[in-house]
Chain A
Amino acid sequence: MQTLWSLGSGDVCEIIEFDDALAERYRVRLMELGFHPGEHVTCLQSPSFGAPKVYRVSNTIYSLDDEVAAHVRVKRHV
């Protein structure tokens, strides 16, 4: 299963679910920000050296690091 963290720049995906390893409060916060199952997310930037990636959800842009993004399971659109 792919995760938000595995996306490259320009990739579009649909959020499937959150990994059990992601703490409940983080999961809640992500959903409040718009990262809920079924939502479409675009990866806008995937910088080098493991720096946090940049994602667009609806009309808002967020940066997430791997501690969070690696626990969001997604289905990449081809």
Chain B
Amino acid sequence: MSRILLIGSPNSGKSLLFNRLTGLSQKVANFPGITVDVGVGKLLDVPDTQLVDFPGTYSLQPISAEEQVAVAQFEKALEDDNVEQVLCVIDATRLEKSLYFTLQVIRDCEKHGKPVAVLANMIDVLDRHDLAFDTAGLSEAVGVPVLPVSARSGKGVQAIVDVVRHHRTDAGRVPGNRYLDSPDELLRGTAHQLAHRFGPKGDVLVRSQTRLDGFFLHSLTGGIAFFIIMFLLFQSIFTWSAPAMDAVEAALGWLADLIVPHLGQGLVSDFTADALFGGIGAFLVFVPQIFVLTFIVGLLEDSGYMARAALICHKPLRIFGLTGKSFVPMLSGVACAIPGIYAARAIDSPRKRLLTYMAIPLMPCSARLPVYSLLIAAFIPATTTLGGLVGMQGLAMFGIYFFGMVCALLVTGLISRTSKDHYTDLPFVLELPPYRVPGLEPLLRNSWNRSRHFVVKAGKIIFTVTVVIWVLGYFPNYGADLGESWLGHMGRLIEPLFTPLGLDWRYGVAIFTSFLAREVFVGTLGTIFGIEGADENMVPLVDHIQASGMGLGSGLALLVFFAIALQCVSTLAILAKEAESRALAIKMFVGYFLFAYVAALLTFNIVSLFTG
């Protein structure tokens, strides 16, 4: 099959053009560095031809390992005999930024004898402002076709198809050796001259962008706008997605009620009810939240605001080895680590992306809330202070949330200062894209794709772990007594590990099962104490825990443990996929377990000193 290569600088609209040409739905956004994988799709209207979309790069001289991979893949593809043509996308509104890269691409194509065409995208923006771009003149000067196109409106897309169809004719001719021996320095100078000679004149586009930046980046108005936008983002995660999450939960419950009674009593029925609807259902509930968050984050990216938010947050986060681009992933992590990890894709510096991955699981996610609520209700008195203004339980909840965030920053701060890894760091050089009105269809399509990715990719691992834990808890007595199951025996086996925290085997088992999802801790304790529906009504469980003789030191130790430990198989599965490193996921799981254990041990001993 013939192959056409699509390459361009970041934020040149390349992915949207790829979608136009293939009918696929590659993630697009008004934020540099969104394409991180090589995408492949069949070219519409041209049989037996594939279009290969490469990640955007500012030049063919890479400065990070990831850029190196992208450039090496492109160079290798040029040697492939099946590659018939290269399409280089440039942003027609900011010609100088793209032309140096374009000349490098033309030079490489000359070297390999591949035809190349330049696609001057965003021509609709120039048309709207009556700005002229001499594409014919530029084409004559660089010796390859330059086609005015608009990926957004579709203008000029048919001309690209025609060029591809007839690439052996004049329209897609093999370039002459105009730049073959030109060093980068010369290309840079040539790009500068060409941009001034043929590019649009005037600064009307920049002036309108500057006016909006004057508001959004102003110390006062920018701060207020940032606060309001982030408040709405947070609301979307917690409040707006809640009805959809409840609906999924209700639908799964309805389905379980419909199916399970027909399965009779026994293994199949128990497996369906507990492992399938209980275990898998618990993770499917998060799908609406991921959809809503991806939609809102996409909205911010497409509008151009995300780059401004990164700028505003950069300075304080830099102290802890992070970047302004880490803010939204970390904020998302307060709802659920999974969308946060997805959002970290937009961080271009591999080192800072890694540090952000490390921070996200420590952010106080919503799955910790039931655990915190149970332990606080059991160990913190429901009294008030400061004349009734401040409740002790509320203060404890605030304290444990704050503790998680502080831990996240301290961990990244420490690792960034002490670790010498192979991950490349990049400076904070952020292109501020023009403000645009986001398109609804790409946003919805992207949110749908991300949600589907979550279900398909994480689902397999989550299903496997769910089945293993269910089998351990079900056999050998067929679910009659969790305490006498293999899981119960394992709990007793690992009891010495938790004894120094003042915890017995029952809490060990609950910690073990909470690896599925943290909130399972509450349900498991309920099962062990013989309380039905403990996750719906915690009061009887609180009474049992208080009566079990567990002290304040153990309760606070458990709180600290859950604030730090990475007890979530879904997060680990997505982390391994996104970071393309199972080793990283395992190291983080082990590392945070040890950190959580030591912190809990310290908490227990310090509190015990004061309480006896």
Minimal beta-carbon separation of B76 from chain A (angstroms): 22
| Nearest-CB residue, chain A, relative to B98 | A60
Asked whether B210 is an interface residue with its Cβ less than 8 Å from the other chain, the reply is yes
A62–B206 touching, CB < 8 Å? no
**Majority-rule SS of B interface residues:** helix
B95 near A59: Cβ-Cβ < 8 Å: yes
Residues of A within 8 A of B385 (CB): none
CB distance from A53 to the nearest CB of B (A): 9
Query: In the complex, what's the smallest C-beta–C-beta distance from B423 to chain A, in angstroms?
Result: 14
CB of B283 within 8 Å of the partner chain: no
Q: Is the CB of A68 within 8 A of B427?
A: yes
The residues in A between 22 and 66 inclusive whose CB is less than 8 angstroms from any CB of B are 25-26, 28-34, 36, 44-45, 47-52, 54, 56, 58-65
Q: Does B93 contact A (CB under 8 A)?
A: yes
Count A-B contacts at CB 8 Å: 107
A33 CA to B11 CA in the complex, in Å?
A: 13
Interfacial residues of chain B within 362-393, with CB under 8 A of chain A in the complex: none
Asked if B222 is at the interface of the complex by the 8 Å CB criterion, the answer is yes
Contacts of A58 in B (CB 8 A): 94, 96-97, 195
**Number of B residues, CB within 8 Å of A:** 40
CB pair A28–B61 under 8 Å, yes or no, is yes
Binds A, one of B36-44, B258-266, B309-317, B586-594: B309-317
The answer to whether the Cβ of B209 comes within 8 Å of any Cβ in the partner chain is: yes
Contact present for B94 and A62 (CB under 8 Å): no
Q: How many residues of A contact B (CB 8 A)?
A: 30
In this complex, what residue of B is CB-closest to A45?
B217
Please tell me if B431 contacts chain A, counting CB pairs below 8 Å: yes
Q: B484 at the A/B interface (Cβ < 8 Å)?
A: no
Docked CA distance A21–B307 (Å):
27
A47 to B192, CA, bound (A): 30
CB-defined interface of B416-431 with A at 8 Å, one 1/0 digit per residue? 0000000000011111
Chain A residues with Cβ below 8 Å from B206 are: 56, 59, 61
Bound-state CA distance A30–B430 (Å) is 11
**Known contacts A33-B58, A48-B219: A61-B431 contact under CB 8 Å:** yes
A13 to B101: give the CA distance in the assembly, Å.
25
A20: CB under 8 A from chain B? no
B221-240 residues with Cβ-Cβ distance < 8 A to A are 222
Which of B61, B219, B428, B431 interacts with A52 by CB under 8 Å? B428
Docked CA distance A47–B484 (Å): 63
Contact A61 B101 (CB under 8 A): no
B289 contacts A by Cβ under 8 Å: no
From B58, B61, B432, residue with most partner A Cβ within 10 Å: B432
In the docked arrangement, what's the CA distance between A36 and B188, Å? 9
What B residues does A63 contact at CB under 8 A? 307, 311, 428-430, 432
| Assembled-state Cα–Cα distance A50/B214 (Å) | 17
Closest 6 pairs (CB-CB, A-B)? A25-B63, A65-B428, A61-B432, A48-B219, A63-B430, A58-B96
A-to-B contact residues, CB < 8 Å: 25-26, 28-34, 36, 44-45, 47-52, 54, 56, 58-65, 67-68
Knowing that A32-B58, A47-B311, A59-B199 touch, tell me 10 more A-B residue pairs with CB under 8 angstroms: A29-B427, A32-B100, A33-B58, A44-B210, A52-B311, A58-B96, A59-B97, A60-B97, A61-B209, A61-B432
A–B complex contacts, Cβ < 8 Å, 8 sampled: A32-B59, A48-B219, A56-B206, A58-B94, A59-B95, A60-B97, A63-B311, A68-B427
